[in-house]
Amino acid sequence: MLYFESDYMEGAHPEIMRRLAETNMEQTSGYGFDPYCEQAREMIKAACGVQDAAVYFAVGGTQANAAVIDALLKGWQGVLASAAGHIAGHEAGAIEHCGHKVITLAHTSGKIAAETVQAYLASYYADAAHEHMPQPGAVYISHPTEYGTLYTADELAAIHAVCKAHHIPLFVDGARLGYALAADGTDVTLPVLAKNCEVFYIGGTKAGALFGEAIVFTKPELAAHFFSVMKQHGAVLAKGRLLGIQFQTLFTGDLYRTICRRAIVTAHKLKQSFTECGFRLLMDTGTNQLFVILPNKTVKQLAKDIAFQIWEPYDSEHVVARFTTSWATTEQAVDAAAEILRRECELHAKEA
Amino acid sequence: MLYFESDYMEGAHPEIMRRLAETNMEQTSGYGFDPYCEQAREMIKAACGVQDAAVYFAVGGTQANAAVIDALLKGWQGVLASAAGHIAGHEAGAIEHCGHKVITLAHTSGKIAAETVQAYLASYYADAAHEHMPQPGAVYISHPTEYGTLYTADELAAIHAVCKAHHIPLFVDGARLGYALAADGTDVTLPVLAKNCEVFYIGGTKAGALFGEAIVFTKPELAAHFFSVMKQHGAVLAKGRLLGIQFQTLFTGDLYRTICRRAIVTAHKLKQSFTECGFRLLMDTGTNQLFVILPNKTVKQLAKDIAFQIWEPYDSEHVVARFTTSWATTEQAVDAAAEILRRECELHAKEA
Amino acid sequence: MLYFESDYMEGAHPEIMRRLAETNMEQTSGYGFDPYCEQAREMIKAACGVQDAAVYFAVGGTQANAAVIDALLKGWQGVLASAAGHIAGHEAGAIEHCGHKVITLAHTSGKIAAETVQAYLASYYADAAHEHMPQPGAVYISHPTEYGTLYTADELAAIHAVCKAHHIPLFVDGARLGYALAADGTDVTLPVLAKNCEVFYIGGTKAGALFGEAIVFTKPELAAHFFSVMKQHGAVLAKGRLLGIQFQTLFTGDLYRTICRRAIVTAHKLKQSFTECGFRLLMDTGTNQLFVILPNKTVKQLAKDIAFQIWEPYDSEHVVARFTTSWATTEQAVDAAAEILRRECELHAKEA
Amino acid sequence: MLYFESDYMEGAHPEIMRRLAETNMEQTSGYGFDPYCEQAREMIKAACGVQDAAVYFAVGGTQANAAVIDALLKGWQGVLASAAGHIAGHEAGAIEHCGHKVITLAHTSGKIAAETVQAYLASYYADAAHEHMPQPGAVYISHPTEYGTLYTADELAAIHAVCKAHHIPLFVDGARLGYALAADGTDVTLPVLAKNCEVFYIGGTKAGALFGEAIVFTKPELAAHFFSVMKQHGAVLAKGRLLGIQFQTLFTGDLYRTICRRAIVTAHKLKQSFTECGFRLLMDTGTNQLFVILPNKTVKQLAKDIAFQIWEPYDSEHVVARFTTSWATTEQAVDAAAEILRRECELHAKEA
């Protein structure tokens, strides 16, 4: 069986495992107050080019999203997000559990436009009864989006400008950020991202770490009591250093980008196999997730050898299927998948 | 420096590290739907003697406490707990964050008596205005308590009987359960515990794991939607198998009890060193935490060589200091501490 | 100035004022435990034909909605509602403040179809990852809807059947219920409504009372702890009898329906004036709210003499304007409005 | 039967009823945006001597408490309160329902001392692990307290000084404020109160109004989004003018103080009857609530003719009984009670 189901099916990059083993019996203080976390924070701040950023480590993405948004919003506020946003659909109401509404906006392949945000805010404040509606208190976007698409630096800057004009923070969910940074032709680097939002996180779980997300507040004043917020959310890891060690490793010698780049390369290869077989992609993402429009019959056939995710129905005879590569995907796996696709193609050709 | 500050200063038991490394590049489904979690669940159910228990894995204790209590309570209910309970004081209001009041009861060295619970419930329902007060919807205790003390099987059964009479579940926080099970003379085994409560958890973080708590619902119907509750709390680990592998390892060949037993032995030795020097303990706990009444001067002196926690003031000239051993504490460390104590004693003797 | 801005611009029906004055210096117990509330409850249960219903009184609609939904839902659940539902847009996130997501469905003129509910529930449970999404725990509809439209008895029964098949309660917001009951040709009587949902409320604030909504749980077991939920929501009125007296009055001699009927008659008259002038209605509601498509210029002109609400833009040259009659609207007011409209028409005609 | 059970057994002062009737058919905008609310706000600001105060009206006390505290606190904060505070015990967990812990402090007859607040804050910030505990974000006191006792101006100022030193607001629950202002010898006037806290409310429900509390933010910036908070709490009354009219009436010609003064006079008389009969008071309150220590036998006997509240057990043979007068209590009622007490006394004397 070949697995392209998700980018969190393996453990961690071997170098991370080595470092965890190496430091295993050391004794350090808990909760992130240890030298490893300290060093990882410094490395991340340097990589982002924001020397006074406040960096916190969380175990997972839903946790990071809920804690950050809860910290940013006042009680009566909601958060603006793409209707396809992870917080809108797949976190079991974690934001609402904290008392806040997720106010959804229209999107294109997962991306929201600055104009859409601006229009919502303008119409909100124009409404005489706007105080009867949750006040938009922050904007949440994902980079890459849930569809693997990418914002350009200009698009980010435009959304950020709208936020700043309304004095609300922009929060970027970077659960798969590594694959965005490593994508072809992107102009969004860590410093560009850091400059264009108030808080974002660097996803580790899906990009080489055992687990962990590094939350970067580029405006440290927004994080004044973030430790307490995290504790209240059950999001403070007792042995915090486990997160510090992992991010220290990922930010040593460009490891984070390097290993994520592999996923881009294998995704490209896989994409080519699909298109050579005549299958269409829902959209071109440039990152490690491929959304392929497949005939129901092909799905059934492929599923015998390849594990992937049925994303959504496309029409009565097709579905959108998601194939995901990761830092751990091997060339062999992609070649084997190509071979299976080719066979499937030929079968098709014969039948047609 | 010798560290007796807490029981979560090291990583994990080497056997756990070995297993994590060994399985690192395997590919499994996420969120706890993998063979390792499945096996760990079976081993835990067998160890508890409850074949239809529902077992879930959480990353940490505050997370486990909040998710379980939130799942047990209805919106208008609160949870009864010792005023010294971890949820009452040291979880940054995580329970209140979910909308529930922690209703505190008087305790003796951290333990609450069945009579105290019964008296509260009786007086609650006797009050004509009780519907103006949060309804007690569950009872929370810790075993060992926050003071390291232990319930006997009879005490647990008595509390449980009160709960059952009022149709509310008993939840036992077992963040340090390993040290309770390994204590001298305890009659509370896993099956005894499982029989005497509706839900409890087996702490891994403080007892040999890198992180992780195994939540056991002995009445599985209480856990019907617990996955969603956990997801909503940001408490579902993407690579859930990391928890399965750890608990599988801990429950192979009695490893959990064996390594915790070491902490009991070293705690005994350390206690002896303190009493030989004439220092009094606040109470005798029998587990891995020692609460020693130390003169302020001694505290200052010891702090040069030993890391420990100042628990609370005792009187103007003394404080209560907490010394914690763990599965990882070595005989050498305890011997070295004994030596330091002896020197301190002699100095004292001379001064006196 | 003529006021058609809303149906809560006046005080209460004079008979209610008389009864409040008459009973003013009587002494009764608080919180709804008084003979007036008791009698009002009995009258309402009789009118609904549900002798074992549990009836509670709340001061206002948002309060009633939030308390009921919070009582119905489990912590991990959300509520299904029309995207035009009052709870979805105009209650400042009151439902989310209680920790629950409002899951919005497509609607036609405010109404949701049984098929839409069924399709959502089917697709929710068909999704392999549905436990990552808030579980639909109740369905909320308004009758009349926020657009003044009405469900038929069959439509209600169909939605209710879907709910029952999924074991979730149906809750009907009846903030304007009086105007629904008094509408021409409706087959939804109080007993029909009561039979087709688990809980609904009879709006007083907008239909003759000073304030107040009578919440009717047709399945009393759902209300087991509703007093505590209301107290927790700050929704228990100290002098509860004020609500009892009002509903007792409204349910004496069919007063509720009789006075609401007047609003229907005046709304019909007003509608005729609009159509005679050639203005189109967005939809035909049959109740006391008219949604009229008006040219921007007309809006400006009418606003000089008539107070009404700008509902939403229609196109670049028109808006949808809402005109509301109520139990208190006089024939004179409607005649005066007709006169103003006629003048405006003639002006138009000349210009054209 | 004579009723001394509570101060909310009657309707409203006749002048309020007259004004409500008089204005009944007027048409005004909803939600507090009407001329009556505007005038009432101005009168209250003048009476408090704070021209830039922000004044809001709520229907009841629990609602006011929850909305204000929720508006004052950040997500990770709790509120400090007397353990006897209304929010701590009798509001069904309304504060916790908003996600905040009520942190209870020791009290003397309901009052907390500035030193107690200072000591808590000092010890909180001195604790190395204070970020693991809810941050104290506001202080809540009641004036009069739940035991009818009063703060002096100096005591208020002292608590306020502690709050200011820690940059947290002081909130005074004035559900019975009228009886405090009318008490003998108090030096706490409305301007004194307004100067010594950030927000307080003037209770109407228990002091002459049908219902209603006027919330006064002496620092208007704290109320920037208070309308939305109230809406979210279901605490905005549609026909807001009902509150405006009532407070306008109460603040015309010193009516509020005048009618509350009557309750003080009748309470004094009643107290005298008790002491003349040899019954002891738990404490001397000076306001409209008397807490009398009564033998169980006397309680049984009195209960035949007088309605009062059993507050709490005193010892095995006595209970503390609460007798409450109000603006509506007549001289006759107090004389009749005195007569009943005298008879009871004589009986006692004979038996002894």
pLDDT digits (tens, 9 = 90+) for B234-256: 999 999 999 999 999 999 999 99
What is the structure's pLDDT at C319? Answer: 95
- Is residue C253's pLDDT more than 90? yes
Bond into D144 cis (ω within 30): yes
* Best B96, B105, B146, B310 residue to mutate vs chain D (most D CBs within 10 Å): B96
Number of H helices, E strands in chain B: 14, 13
CA distance D230 to C60: 12
Q: What ipTM was estimated for this complex? A: 0.96
Q: What is the spatial distance between Cα D290 and Cα D49, in angstroms, rounded to a whole number?
A: 32
For residue A58, give the 3-state DSSP assignment: strand
What residue spans of A111-254 are helical by DSSP H? 114-126, 153-165, 177-181, 190-195, 226-232, 241-250
The answer to whether the CB of C325 falls within 8 A of the CB of C267 is: yes
Instruction: Work out the mean pLDDT of chain D and round it to a whole number.
Output: 96
List, for residues B187-239, the tens digit of each pLDDT value: 999 999 999 999 999 999 999 999 999 999 999 999 999 999 999 999 999 99
Indicate the pairing of strand B102-105 with strand B77-82: parallel
Confidence of residue A350 (pLDDT cuts 50, 70, 90): confident
Amino acid at C223: A
Note the pLDDT of residue D352. 60
Q: C215 - beta bridge partners?
A: C56, C201
* pLDDT tens track for A238-285: 999 999 999 999 999 999 999 999 999 999 999 999 999 999 999 988
Q: Encode pLDDT of C202-222 as tens digits.
A: 999 999 999 999 999 999 999
Structure confidence at residue A352 (pLDDT): 60
CB C225, CB C231: distance < 8 Å: no
Q: Report the residue from C76, C90, C97 with minimal CB separation from A133.
A: C90
Asked if D29 is an interface residue toward chain A (Cβ–Cβ < 8 A), one would say no
Q: What is the mean pLDDT of residues D47-63?
A: 97
Going by C-alpha positions, the residue among B235, C99, C117, B231 that lies closest to residue A89 is: B231
Which position has the token pair 């980008």?
A: A257
B260-288 average pLDDT score: 95
CB-based contacts of D352: which residues, under 8 Å, 6+ apart?
A: none
Strand ranges, E, within B87-212: 102-105, 135-142, 170-173, 199-203
- Helical spans, DSSP H, in D200-325: 226-232, 241-250, 255-276, 296-302
C-beta pairs of B218-222 under 8 Å, 24+ apart in sequence: B218/B48, B218/B50, B218/B53, B218/B194, B219/B169, B220/B52, B220/B53, B220/B54, B222/B54, B222/B71, B222/B72, B222/B169, B222/B198
Determine contact: C301 vs chain B, CB below 8 A: no
Residue A294, H or E segment: strand A289-295
- How many A×C Cβ pairs under 8 Å? 54
pLDDT at residue C350 greater than cutoff 80: no
pTM for the model stands at 0.96
Give the chain C residue nearest A99 (alpha carbons).
C97
- Determine the Cα–Cα distance for residues A223 and A67; give it in Å rounded to an integer: 11
pLDDT of residue B352 exceeding 70, the answer is: no
Q: Does the pLDDT at position A89 exceed 90?
A: no
Nearest to C164 by CA among C202, C204, C114: C114
Over range C109-124, report the average pLDDT: 97
Contacts of B36 in chain A (CB under 8 A): none
Sole residue written with tokens 């939804």? C188
HSE-CB of D325 using CA atoms within 13 angstroms: 30
Contacts of C246 (CB under 8 A, 6+ apart): C12, C16, C19, C20, C40, C204, C209, C210, C211, C212
Q: If pLDDT is split at 50, 70 and 90, which confidence band does B345 have?
A: confident
Neighbours of chain D (3+ CB pairs under 8 A): A, B, C
Give the D window 65-104 contacts with C, CB below 8 Å: 65-67, 91-94, 97-98
Nearest Cβ partner for C60 among D17, D23, D238: D238
Contact C162, C114 (CB under 8 A): yes
Length of chain C: 352
D75-125 pLDDT, tens digit each: 999 999 999 999 998 899 999 999 999 999 999 999 999 999 999 999 999
pLDDT at C192 exceeding the cut of 90: yes
* Per-residue pLDDT tens digits for C96-113: 999 999 999 999 999 999
CA distances from D60 to C213, C234, D25 (A): 16, 7, 24
Taking CA–CA distances from B32, the nearest residue in chain A reads A9
Q: In Å, how far is D209's CA from the nearest CA of chain A?
A: 27
Mean pLDDT value across chain C? 96
Asked if C225 has any chain D CB less than 8 Å from its own CB, the reply is no
Distance (Å) from the C-alpha of residue C312 to the closest C-alpha of chain A? 10
- Does the CB of B303 have a partner CB in chain D at under 8 Å? no
Joined tokens for residue D205: 């429900």
* A76 contact residues in D (CB cutoff 8 A): 71, 225, 228-229, 232
Chain D interface test: which of A124, A130, A225 (most D C-beta within 10 Å) = A225
Element (H, E) at D323: strand D318-324
**Cα distance between residue B282 and residue B270, in whole Å:** 15
Is there a contact between D93 and B102 if contact means CB atoms under 8 Å apart? no
Question: Which candidate, B104, B74, B101, B118, places its Cα nearest to that of B222?
Answer: B74
User: For residue B131, what is the nearest residue in chain D, using CA coordinates?
Assistant: D92
Task: Say if residues A231 and B92 touch (Cβ distance below 8 Å).
Answer: yes
Distance from CA of B174 to the nearest CA of C (A): 24
State whether C9 and D28 contact (CB < 8 Å): yes
| Chain B: touching chains (3 or more CB pairs < 8 Å) | A, C, D
At residue C309, what are phi and psi to the nearest 5 degrees? -110, 135
Model pLDDT, residue B163:
98
- pLDDT for C352 equals 60
Mean pLDDT, rounded, for A317-344: 95
* Closest C-alpha to C170, from C122, C117, C225, C229: C117
Q: Say what the pLDDT of residue C177 is.
A: 98
**pLDDT for residue D339 is more than 90:** yes
Q: What local confidence, expressed as pLDDT, does residue D176 receive? A: 98
pLDDT band at residue A351 using 50, 70 and 90 as cut-offs? low
**Averaged confidence pLDDT in chain B:** 96
Examine the pLDDT at D348 and tell me if it is beyond 90: no
Give start and end residues of each alpha helix (H) in D81-184: 86-89, 94-97, 114-126, 153-165, 177-181
Distance CA C190, CA C206 (A): 17
Half-sphere exposure of B155 (CA within 13 A, CB side): 17
Residue scoring higher pLDDT (A217 or B1): A217
pLDDT of residue B249: 98
Q: Is D92 helix (H, G, I), strand (E, B) or coil?
A: coil
For C6-34, the DSSP string reads: -S-SS---HHHHHHHHHTTT----STT-S
**Tell me, what's the pLDDT at B351?**
67
Q: What's the token pair of residue D265? A: 């006079």
Reference B91, options B148, B140, B156; nearest CA is B140
DSSP 3-state of B298: helix
The answer to whether the CB of C102 falls within 8 A of the CB of A98 is: no
N-term to C-term CA, chain A: 28
B336 lies within 8 A of chain A by CB = no
Alpha carbon of C34: minimum distance to chain A alpha carbons (Å): 34
Q: B171 CB contacts (<8 Å, ≥6 apart)?
A: B68, B69, B72, B79, B138, B139, B140, B141, B197, B198, B199, B200
Q: What is the pLDDT of residue D347?
A: 78
pLDDT at B266 over 80: yes
Q: Give contacts of C134 with chain A, Cβ < 8 Å.
A: 92-93, 96
The token pair that represents C4 in the structure block? 């058609």
**A160 contact partners, CB below 8 Å, separation of at least 6:** A170, A196, A197
Written as six digits, the tokens of A29 are 């203080």
From CA B289, how far away is CA B260, in angstroms rounded?
Answer: 12
